[in-house]
A and B are shown apart, each in its own frame.
Chain A
Amino acid sequence: MAFHSKELAKAYWRENVKLLLSLLFIWALVSFGFGILLVDALNQIQFFGFKLGFWFAQQGAIYTFVVLIFVYVYKMNRLDEKYDVQED
């Protein structure tokens, strides 16, 4: 066991899952939410020449996806170090 105790292993996993769920919430919000379910409401708003809902569906969601992955990489590296389970 690489963790110093069983409790630490549990705590690490819990924090990991919490981070995953919050990032996946944003993932679903921008794509399924803004891009699909709320698209008609958001289309009432003009955004740099786009209807906002349309922009999310064809541009904005993709940019958000990229940001999400890099936020995840950064936070996970910090988490690994906090629990001392990073790679050598």
Chain B
Amino acid sequence: MDIRTWTFLIVGLSFVLYIGIAIYCRAGSTKEFYVAGGGVHPIVNGMATAADWMSAASFISMAGLISFMGYDGAVYLMGWTGGYVLLALCLAPYLRKFGKFTVPDFIGDRYYSQTARTVAVICAIFVSFTYVAGQMRGVGVVFSRFLEVDITTGVLLGMAIVFFYAVLGGMKGITYTQVAQYCVLMMAYLVPAIFISIMVTGHVIPQFGFGATLADGSGVHLLDKLDGLSAELGFAAYTSGTKSTIDVLFITAALMVGTAGLPHVIVRFFTVPKVKDARKSAGWALIFIAVLYTTAPAVAGFARLNMINTINGADSQGTEYSEAPTWVTNWEKTGLIGWEDKNEDGRMFYSGDERNEMHIDRDIMVLANPEIADLPAWVIALVAAGGVAAALSTSAGLLLVISTSISHDLLKRNLMPNISDKMELRYARSAAAVAVCIAGYLGINPPGFVAQVVAFAFGLAASSFFPAIILGIFYKRMNKYGAITGMVSGLLFTATYIVYFKFINPAASVPENWWFGVSPEGIGTLGMIVNFAVAAVVCHLTPPPPQDVQDMVESIRYPQGAGEAQVH
């Protein structure tokens, strides 16, 4: 069977599985819709959280980015995992004990203010839409490459599936579907990684193969070989990278804190039965995530070596274009690989200096990897199914945050407090439906700034939500004035910096112009510090919070009496 038939078969089977689960687990009440009834086992919840977290970007783009960035890729590896330590230790157990449905709920109640709640709702919706547009695009790219349908058809198909199970099943349906999606996407990531690790180094486990010697009998370590090739071809050494230390530090911190502040991740810890389970669940989530995140740098290393070897040839003289491997010509059709014969010798050559003749898009590394290594057709189809699973699971989680924000935080808690549970559920479903359509539209007509706004989403979460929640739990004296001014100033500071360097004057975005050498990707860390500082000062100039709020803070600090998530 050829790749296309295999892809139809495997992706089709995975869709049948997701829909089957959704029908079996549909939601009957708002509580089931928002937090899956609060009865999800911590390991199951951990797996669902992992699938929710690992998006099309983690699955498709991350290893490719690392393979071009070398050491600097560590900002994503540490940044997107380290946040879970903050979540588990500083947020999840307390928010679970607090026992409501959403992050704006906490902000609104803790800071006894509708203004604070509204600011939080707007941030949550903005962050989630930013994210979901990228996911839909990911579905489109995978479909168009492997099923050879156009991107619009791909996005519409993805929308239909997500619509079906997110609108019907709510959090309950999503949770169990995500468990299935986790299994699909992990298999799709690990199978080719293991194949390639064996081919390149002879090790079955990619994490070991990454540090091992090459299987070609030369006795050279993979990483030394990559450093050598980089020097020869005019790139920075693979194990040292090009970013300044301070920038690496700030980006890593911004991604960590941003992760811990993302509403679609936090809401996950409302779904487990106990405080104890919330702590444990974060640990399981990180284990499931770590499997992919420790494999990714290995995949990046193997892919780089394989790519350079096939393009430049074993003797580093370049490969004749007429003998180019099929993956080059296949991806050339999508415009993601380009070759320009500058010295007119008919050979392709890839390097970091003026000899370079290739244009290679970073996003293709994971998807093209099995083709580069000549793996069987079913492996390539599996990777396609994995990419779709990653994109769908994350979109579903985000759509749920959007619909909850609208039906619960905006309508029920703000505009129409008297609606019944049934009505609220109906509003939640309609909001999810509208959100799917907007997300699909953004996927088909992506605004040019999708890539740039990802930095925005993390910076926003880091500079607004995270300090407000941390102070709310660990600093009883924090009042609404401090929290609101802190959030607003952190937000404005971060937003101004990013908007200036990403939209108004992108040409000026070079290390010489950055404050303290911090790039827009890392500015969320400074924004967070601004938020903390402003909040502390303002809080001491204004009256302390009322006694009942202080009592509430007291009560979320120990687990006893957590009960299930409350419907107010």
Contact = CB atoms under 8 A, between A and B. Distances in A.
Contacts of A27: 82, 85
B84 A69 contact: yes
Contact of A70 (B208, B213, B283, B554): B283
Given A63-B290, A69-B84, A20 B558 contact: no
Contact of A12 (B74, B210, B280, B558): B558
Interface string A55-80: 10111011101101110110011001
Contacts of A85: 558-560
Contact of A2 (B85, B253, B282, B560): B560
Interface residues of A, number: 46
Contacts of B13: none
Nearest to A24: B89
Contacts of A20: 89-90
Best-surrounded residue of A20, A23, A49 (most CB of chain B within 10 A) = A49
Contacts of B283: 66, 69-70, 72-73
A84 B221 CA distance: 54
Nearest to B76: A58
Given A58-B297, A62-B294, A36 B82 contact: no
Contact of B252 (A23, A32, A50, A58): A32
Contact of B78 (A35, A49, A86, A88): A35
Contacts of B71: 39, 54, 57-58
Contact of B279 (A58, A65, A72): A72
Contacts of A2: 555, 558, 560-561
Contacts of B77: 57-58, 61-62
A51 B221 CA distance: 11
Contacts of B223: 49-51, 54
Contact of B74 (A49, A58, A68): A58
Contact of B89 (A9, A23, A37): A23
A52 B249 CA distance: 18
Contacts of B286: 65-66, 69
Contacts of B88: 69, 72-73
Nearest to A43: B239
Interface in B224-261: 239-240, 245, 248-249, 252-253, 256
B188 to A, nearest CB: 20
Interface in B28-85: 66, 71, 73-74, 77-78, 81-82, 84-85
B313 to A, nearest CB: 26
Nearest to A23: B89
A7 interface: no
A21 to B, nearest CB: 10
Contacts of A65: 81-82, 84-85, 286, 290
A51 B240 CA distance: 10
Contacts of B373: none
Main secondary structure, interface of B, reads: helix
B90 A9 contact: no
B356 interface: no
Contacts of B208: 48
Given A43-B239, A58-B297, A72-B279, A35 B560 contact: no
Contacts of B212: 49
B213 A62 contact: no
Contacts of A88: 560
B552 to A, nearest CB: 13
A83 B213 contact: no
A51 to B, nearest CB: 6
Best-surrounded residue of B82, B213, B222, B275 (most CB of chain A within 10 A) = B82
Interface string A23-35: 1100100011001
Nearest to B88: A69
A86 B239 contact: no
A59 B558 contact: no
B252 A36 contact: yes
Given A24-B89, A51-B239, A61-B82, A86 B245 contact: no
Given A36-B249, A69-B286, A62 B78 contact: yes
B545 interface: no
A50 B211 contact: yes
B274 interface: yes
B355 interface: no
B167 to A, nearest CB: 34
Contact of A55 (B211, B275, B280, B282): B211
A77 B71 CA distance: 38
B276 interface: yes
Contact of A59 (B256, B274, B297, B559): B297
A23 to B, nearest CB: 6
Given A3-B558, A36-B248, A36-B252, A62 B276 contact: no
A62 B82 CA distance: 7
B316 interface: no
Contacts of B222: 49
B293 interface: yes
Q: Which 9 A-B pairs give the minimum distances between C-beta atoms?
A: A49-B211, A57-B74, A69-B283, A85-B558, A58-B297, A85-B560, A50-B211, A69-B88, A54-B239
19 contacts: A2-B558, A16-B557, A17-B474, A23-B85, A24-B85, A31-B82, A35-B78, A36-B252, A37-B249, A47-B211, A49-B211, A49-B223, A57-B77, A59-B294, A65-B81, A69-B89, A83-B558, A85-B560, A88-B560
